[in-house]
Amino acid sequence: MVVDDSVVVRGLLSRWIDENAEMAVVASHRNGRAAVEDVERANPDVVVLDVEMPEMDGLTALPLLLKKKRDLVVIMASTLTRRNAEVSLKALSLGAQDYVPKPESNSGITTSTDFRRDLLEKIRQLGGRRRRMHRGAPAGAGHAAQPAAAPTSRFARPGGAAPAAAHAAAAAPAVARSGGFATRPYSSVKPRILVVGSSTGGPQALTKLFGVIGRAIGDIPVLVTQHMPPTFTAILAEHLMKAAGRPAAEGKDGESVIAGRIYVAPGGKHMLLAKGDHGNIIRLNDGPAVNFCKPAVDPMFESVSRAYGSAVLSVVLTGMGSDGAKGAGVISSGGGSVIAQDEASSVVWGMPGATANSGVCSDVLPLDDIGPKIMRVLQGGR
């Protein structure tokens, strides 16, 4: 179901979706009220929901849609204004699965290949996950390896994630198993930095995680890369500051890395770590996208490993694709520790799945267990 007050946008999005054999548009509406009234009849897997609409906006419609269909996948579509970014992040806390930044003009939407690619991939992945759950398959199945076939649905068929990290083979031999995955021992060195990478489902997971570990990170800096556009990352930093009770902001080029602070990669820039005259500093990189992402997790992980070696504790949370798996392999090869979120608690088990399957993790854990584990490791436990 496509819900947008612009007839041009509704038509364009519907055409893009219908051009995919595994997807079909079952309804389109110009406002939230019409969508709420029709959702039970149309029975969609996914709703693409605009933020600003007459009669009933997206944020008002969201809980009403979920009340009628509790397992409905809702993807918010909003332009890159601060207000809409705040609304989109609020929507995630109310049950939306994800968001997609929408170009401000109709002509921008028509010509934006990035918007089209991101929208269709999120529909495919999230709608496919819902279909698999209805068939009784594990929540993350099909994201670490492409299934042979899947039936046509009202929006989605699962897609495969990229191969696991090439650096896995260079790391130390696996010695144990966690959740059925080969694992490596935690570093014997107490962590001096925590780095976290995430994508789809990440804002919710990050907020929950930092609500748990906030009191434990006073003695180390924390770097976060979440796949997000500009404006959104600044607001995410504000949310993490509230959740953790620690200073948090977008990283600034050249600033010193200080213990007890959370640095969020700004949208549209890769955030790296480098050695400065008086300690480690943030470096922002405007180079090409990595793994189709900017910011990307791999460059951050690799730079942190160069600076801190075996004193790195890294976490790969829910997200599409395989970003973070290669960087996690570099961290593991350098003696650092890697934790990946398990498939059952992930919105999309792409990034953590690729990392877990590469065999470089010290643990593969449910989201609720990652915070307590981080706290134990920071205190010298395992």
Q: How many domains does the chain have?
A: 2
Q: Are residues 178 and 128 in the same domain?
A: no
Is residue 151 predicted with pLDDT exceeding 60? no
Residue 142 counted as domain residue: no
> What is the structure's pLDDT at 154?
41
227 is catalytic: yes
Is residue 108 predicted with pLDDT exceeding 90? no
Residue 143 counted as domain residue: no
Q: What is the pLDDT of residues 314-372, one digit of tens each?
A: 999 999 999 999 999 999 999 999 999 999 999 999 999 999 999 999 999 999 999 99
| Range of 106-110, 135-139, 180-184, 236-240 with top mean pLDDT | 236-240
Residue 61 counted as domain residue: yes
Residue 155 counted as domain residue: no
CATH at 360: 3.40.50.180
Q: Are residues 306 and 361 in the same domain?
A: yes
Give the range of the structural domain holding residue 263, as residue numbers without chain letter.
166-378
Q: Are residues 104 and 181 in the same domain?
A: no
Q: Are residues 243 and 366 in the same domain?
A: yes
Q: What is the pLDDT of residues 270-301, one digit of tens each?
A: 999 999 888 999 999 999 999 999 999 999 99
Q: Are residues 304 and 175 in the same domain?
A: yes
Which residue among 88, 153, 199, 345 is the active-site one?
A: 199
Is residue 164 predicted with pLDDT exceeding 70? no
Which residue among 98, 298, 323, 363 is the active-site one?
A: 323
199 is catalytic: yes
Cβ proximity of 115 and 86 under 8 Å: no
Rounded to 5 degrees, what angle do the CA atoms 364, 158, 146 make? Answer: 70
With b meaning 16 or more CB within 10 Å and e meaning fewer, what string describes 86-100? bbbbbbbeebbbbbb
Lowest mean pLDDT among 15-24, 52-61, 135-144, 234-243: 135-144
Q: Are residues 75 and 130 in the same domain?
A: yes
Strand partners, 195: 223, 314
Q: How far apart are CA 111 and CA 289, in angstroms?
A: 19
Q: How far apart are CA 13 and CA 122, in angstroms?
A: 13
Q: Are residues 322 and 235 in the same domain?
A: yes
At residue 366, what are phi and psi to the nearest 5 degrees? -65, 150
Q: How far apart are CA 109 and CA 282, in angstroms?
A: 34
Which residue among 29, 143, 167, 227 is the active-site one?
A: 227
For residues 28-57, average pLDDT:
97
At residue 121, what are phi and psi to the nearest 5 degrees? -70, -40
Q: Are residues 221 and 106 in the same domain?
A: no
140/359: higher pLDDT: 359
- DSSP 3-state assignment of 312? strand
Is residue 119 predicted with pLDDT exceeding 70? yes
CATH at 34: 3.40.50.2300
Q: Which residues contact 25 (CB under 8 A, 6 or more apart)?
A: 1, 2, 14, 17, 18
Average pLDDT of the chain is: 89
Is residue 8 predicted with pLDDT exceeding 90? yes
- DSSP 3-state assignment of 283? strand
143 is catalytic: no
Q: Are residues 91 and 173 in the same domain?
A: no
- Domain stop point among 87, 116, 134: 134
Q: Are residues 315 and 274 in the same domain?
A: yes
